[in-house]
Structure 1
Amino acid sequence: MTTAQFDCQYCTTSLLGKKYVLKDDNPYCISCYDHVFCNYCEECKEAIESNSKDLCYKGRHWHERCFNCAKCNHSLVEKPFVAKDERLLCSECYSNECSSKCFHCKKTIMPGSRKMEFKGNYWHETCFVCEHCRQPMGTKPLISKDSGYYCVPCFQKEFAHYCSFCKKVITSGGVTFRGEPWHKECFLCSGCRKELCEEEFMSRDDYPFCLDCYNRLYAKKCAACTKPITGLRGVKFICFQDRQWHSECFNCGKCSVSLVGEGFLTHNKEIFCRKCASGAETDV
């Protein structure tokens, strides 16, 4: 480059004997370089001139003096930091403000360390352990009981019930019948094998039956309407001389008045109120 050519690329002022900056092999005086190429600081919004250090993070720029934690204002130059919602935070402030707290030890789970999550709570990996064997749970299956967490082998050893039907462990839910535990899917009608966990049922000789099977196999039939008498939900029935009636069916055979709690007379297999029976041959 000749002396005549050694001018500022922007303002053409001679740079002989002056400070200058090369940009893409072209010389610029300090003033023009700052005017044309300098970045503006995210913090103070002022130009970062060529005589200042320009600190850049993800396309954003700061003066060295302005590159500080947004919370405690301590310098982040050559220190670890975290970007959170467009703010830069030192590790300590980020931990205090944004990191999860361990559900067990209540201490901060530091950024970068492994944490375990279960039912909306967080643990250090070393704090999330089986209540019984105290071994870390990791990603192994677990069962919760009384606010504690257990690995499957420990839960089975300490608490599990075994199904009366299949003899396998009941890990959740289940049905109790005659003091014995059952899986819901194992608690079946002894007649048709239908699941009973969501159904009304009756028992006979310590065996459960759905209503259809019980009525078909064992239920007494009403002498009036011939429908089964189950006695479910406290329904009352009348028993007389080895015959049964629904309460609402125990009526006079002539005038149909209810005989529940009333005196009555019989003639053959018919029952009558005293008034209707007074003119007929009766048997008390």
Structure 2
Amino acid sequence: MGACLSAEKEAGAADGKPQHSPRAKARDAGAERKGAAAVRAAANAGKGAGYEDDDDDDGSGDDAEDAVDKDPNFTAHEQGKCPKCKEDMAKAESTMYQLTGSWHPQCFTCPKCEKNMNRSHYVVMSGFPWCQECYNEEHGPKCPVCEKALGKERVNALDLEWHKECFLCDVCKNPLKGQIHYENNKLYCNRDYVDAFKPRCGGCEKPLDGPFVMALDLKFHPKCFTCATCKNVLVEFEEVNGEAYCEMCDPKRSEFACAICTLPLNAKDYLKNLWGEMYCPEHDHMFPECSSCGTMVCQLPEDDERPMCKHCKTNLADAKNIGKESREVLLDNVLADLEKVGLVVETLPRISIVKQEVVNQHASKAHRNKTSCLRYDKTGKPVELFLVEGRVPEDLEADIAHEIGHLYLWEQNFPPLKGIVEEGVSEMFRVKFLELQLDEEEATTGFGGPSMRTDAIERKKRVETNTDLMYGGGYRGLVDGMKAERVNFTHALEIIKETKWFPR
């Protein structure tokens, strides 16, 4: 940027002070008046922030005055003195007018590097001319990595600006692209960020990225959650002293023998019945099935005793003495579960536990020799639900669910249906109830959501494979129709009400 220079040196007077021509005096007086007026204007304005001259500035000083006007840090220079050295400008041999004041030409320099800015591009800050480089270093934006001034080549990311050469992963030092992370004043590529900050597997100690198992107050890759002894992947486990063990390796187990022959069992060579009783593979199918739950009985029944597993024998003792209140609890449990899937009935019949002969007396032809039926009054209203005695509560609940299917059809004013259709619908009520019988213990192990109880799975399988034409055939006919028409059970009921037959 140019500067207006003027200098006339006259012969010294008697006091030794330099003398100026009348023309020079007039010029300096005019400059000082102009400077004083600009200083007052700048002091009153106080607008804007720093200023940068255009490259084609003619050095006239007009733009510099505007810059002072825009500089909030500008402090008016003392009138009549050089802003840098503070000497009286009246004694100056040469002067220049810039930034609303008079300067010695040699004093118009960058405050940091002392480069003379007479004919250079500069930025005004606090009333002084700064070269661009020094201004950037002191007052310009800085790279968050090296904390040095940013040049023309910069990268905009994460609401910050960086040197291109500094925009690297702090771990692998590779240029960043794709998903980027900024943590603790450091840049990370996605791979190194996951490695540094994601939770780690309690087994292999590698980062977890995907499904995991929660156990022992830790998170594991599913394949890393293994028995502490045999190293097999665990689905069920026993915790001992902070370690997970499979059932065979459980240190607390004093004996692990076949429930039939009592010989020790090999960890990889044994079978279980429905209730967890373990036995040698060679015993499979050699013993009768439980008359209640259908699982293999691990002991021979006594003479004239129907075969029953230990679980059902234990629960049967309780079932023999089920009182009125307990029966109502069974009914309430079934109604509550079916309501979860939108199957609601309002009619609540009385429940009676009776002998088989009573059921046969009141049952329709399809229900004779079955384990449950409804009794209707003279108006056709269902008033009592009969359940055959000598069975466990799980069987009683499944039968109640079946009979609620009949109640639902009556309550919703379905037209008279063929036996195979009505029994198929009622068996679907039974299955819907069984599907809601969840393993409460499994829900606490951290392996995702709970699944069906093993006994409920077995009872559902018995429905699906039932060879009875009305019960099994009706259920399979309904399932096949729902698959063919791609409808759910609720929609299938609407079709049956309208057509009196399965969806097809």
Q: TM-score, normalised by structure 2?
A: 0.22
**Higher strand content, 1 or 2:** 1
Q: Answer with 1 or 2: which has the greater Rg.
A: 2
| Higher RCO (CA < 8 A, seq sep 6+) | 2
**TM-score (structure 1 length as normaliser):** 0.35
